[in-house]
Amino acid sequence: RLPNSIRLAPISFALVALSSLVFLLFFQLRIMVLLQWFNFVPVEMTDIGVSLGRPGNDWWRYVTPTLLHFSWLHLVFNCLWLWEFGQRIEHRIGAVNMVGLYLVTAVVSNGVQYLWSGPSIFGGMSGVVYSFLGFLWAASLVRPGWLQAPPPAILGFMLIWLIVGLLGTLEFLGVGAIANGAHIGGLAIGFVLGLLFGVLTRFHRSA
């Protein structure tokens, strides 16, 4: 029998498990073809370096960058928040809606990051994490008690982290490149969807 928390949030758990599996194959075992397949734009490894293409008909690339992580810290940080926020949402909206929420927020956050940085190599669940944060935040505003709102300390920390990333401080400190576009796009679409779900469920309950 699976633990109760996993049975109640199978999609959130699957996203954590899949991200971890891809990380082990890509980062630890150096199966670089995953980068070529999963990056937002095609990546070609040549003798003189890396060549980047442009978005084409590979529809899966709008989602799959979320599965790429480039360090243990990157993976652990994203997966902890992915589970913390994701299971709270999935308990309420169910697995099917959770799949839709993930896909929509992944596409939007990845798309905004591409518009922000142009053809580049980027990845990680952080855009989805910020979308889940925005969803919880907005839904708890329009329908208090329906979802467990993020504690003020966590909400403040995540927003400060977003601002620090925008200021370039993290890159200056050597943390690495930050997908600021994905963070902003994810938070925005998550907030909008949180408002929508909160209002719709409120009306449904009234009816």
Please name the helix (run of DSSP H) or strand (run of DSSP E) that holds residue 203, with its range, or none: helix 180-206
Active site residue 20: no
Active site residue 126: yes
User: What 3-state class would DSSP assign to 71?
Assistant: coil
pLDDT at 168: 80
Q: What is the pLDDT of residues 115-157, one digit of tens each?
A: 999 999 999 999 999 999 999 999 999 998 888 888 999 999 9
Selecting among 12, 74, 109, 183, the annotated active-site residue is 183
Model confidence at 54, in pLDDT bands (50, 70, 90)? Answer: confident
Model confidence at 49, in pLDDT bands (50, 70, 90)? Answer: confident
Read off φ and ψ for residue 149, nearest 5 degrees. -65, 150
Q: Provide long-range contacts, Cβ within 8 A and 24+ apart, for 162-168.
A: 162/130, 162/187
CA distances from residue 108 to 2, 8, 53, 105, 162 in whole angstroms, order as listed: 32, 26, 20, 5, 17
> What whole-number distance in Å separates Cα of residue 158 and Cα of residue 145?
22
Selecting among 12, 126, 131, 140, the annotated active-site residue is 126
pLDDT at 56: 77
pTM of the model: 0.93
Best-predicted range by mean pLDDT (40-54, 167-181, 184-198): 184-198
In this prediction, residues 180-190 reach a mean pLDDT of 97
In this prediction, residues 145-172 reach a mean pLDDT of 88
- Report whether pLDDT(207) > 60: no
Residue carrying the six token digits 């293409």 = 53
Q: Which two tokens stand for residue 32?
A: 């670089």
Q: Terminus-to-terminus CA distance in the chain, angstroms?
A: 37
Residue 48 DSSP label = T
pLDDT at 201: 83
Q: Which two tokens stand for residue 47?
A: 């003798």
More confidently predicted of 175 and 147? 147
Q: What is the pLDDT of residues 8-25, one digit of tens each?
A: 999 999 999 999 999 999
pLDDT at 11: 97
Q: What is the pLDDT of residues 60-116, one digit of tens each?
A: 999 999 999 999 999 999 999 999 999 999 999 999 999 999 999 999 999 999 999
pLDDT at 152: 93
Going through the chain in order, the beta strands assigned E by DSSP cover 43-46, 49-52
Residue carrying the six token digits 């529809």 = 59
> Cβ distance 182 to 109 under 8 Å?
yes
Q: Which two tokens stand for residue 161?
A: 């982290």
